[in-house]
Structure 1
Amino acid sequence: MVKIKNSLLALALLVLCCSCDKQRFFDDYKEFDGTWNKDTVVSFGFEQKDTVSHYNMFVTMRNNKNYPYNNLFLIVQMQQPGTKLVKVDTLEYQMANADGTLMGEGFSDVKESKLWYKENVSFPKAGKYTVSIQQAVRQAGKVTGVQELDGVTEVGLRIETKE
């Protein structure tokens, strides 16, 4: 009986927290088993009807203490609807402090980092957009990328309205 009450309380808190997020236009995650293979591309599709308003876009990362690097390199692509035009960005983020402790929010071993992708962006066409994310981490002095990036539990895309 206590487990049921605790579950209902947790569900109510989750609904309450999610319903207060007025800036959220899109927010989705893809889950990993603690390792992100360099050949695994994470894709998010969203429907956009508003071609006037401006938005901020973020890559959201959840990683744990097994993440072995201070930084993170990503290749992020965004495809507009009805076209083969793809905008490609190579991004670098700092993921750990100088002492090796992970940056980000969270009370447990898992930290969530909200990383800027695009600021004050508008979507020129109505329709379905696709954003694809691939890790491109390399060890210092090595040409080949890290095949298995440890410590990654989830990768997400978040889009917020500017209002």
Structure 2
Amino acid sequence: MANKIFFILFIFLIQACETNLEHSEYKSLNNGIWKADNTLNFNFSPSDSLSKHHIFINVRNDNSYEFSNLFLITEMESPNGETVIDTLEFEMTLPDGSWLGKGMGSIKESKLWFRENIVFADSGVYNFSISHAMRKNGAVGGIQELKGITDIGLQIEKTPFP
């Protein structure tokens, strides 16, 4: 009887540890500098066209990042050619200046919500691009070389429940 209970608990434990990760990809930035004209492109083909998914943008930064927020321009193109463009702002620090991202040492990683409960109804390749839109207060032109961002990632997860 004890073996049977242990086996059932083991099965539940394995199922609880299963990840809902559908896609994860990172692009490294040269010397931690993100140039304004460097648009990062990600391509993915969802395997499930019925389930809902969450999309995250993962940002790794080091201590040379001098801002408390991050402005991004994203573009997602579906296989049928429909394109959605967004300008987003993410907080990177608390009001006291401490990083919101996780990690030990000088590199912090922030998992930023992009979209939730998205169904990828069209089969084929989706194209996703990200560029930064940072500028200093009062400046007309944007920052040409954004220092302190080491990697940008795209992560897609199936929602745990239908």
* Structure 1 counterpart of 2:157: 160
Q: 1:43-82 deviations in whole A, cap 9, x for unaligned?
A: 1101124221000000000000000001000001000114
How far the C-alpha of 1:96 sits from its partner, in A, is 1.3
How far the C-alpha of 1:86 sits from its partner, in A, is 1.2
Q: Secondary structure at the match of 1:66?
A: coil
CA contact (8 A) 1:49 1:127 kept: no
Structure number with bigger Rg: 2
Q: Structure 2 CA distance, aligned partners of 1:101 and 1:107?
A: 13
Q: 1:1-52 deviations in whole A, cap 9, x for unaligned?
A: xxxxxxxxxxxxxxxxxxx561110000000121100110001101124221
Q: Secondary structure at the match of 2:104?
A: coil
Q: Structure 2 CA distance, aligned partners of 1:127 and 1:153?
A: 30
Q: Which runs of 4+ in 1 moved over 4 A?
A: none
Choose which of 37, 40, 55 in structure 2 pairs with 1:39: 37
- Structure 2: where are the runs of 5+ without partners? 1-16
Give the counterpart letter for 2:45 in structure 1: E
- Structure 1: where are the runs of 5+ without partners? 1-19
Give the counterpart letter for 1:133 in structure 2: I
The normalised TM-score by structure 2 is: 0.85
Give the fraction of aligned pairs with identical amino acids, expressed as a percent.
40
Q: How does 1:71-150 map to 2 (within 5 A)?
A: 71-83=69-81, 85-150=82-147
Q: Structure 2 CA distance, aligned partners of 1:108 and 1:21?
A: 29
Q: Structure 2 CA distance, aligned partners of 1:137 and 1:72?
A: 7
CA contact (8 A) 1:57 1:117 kept: yes
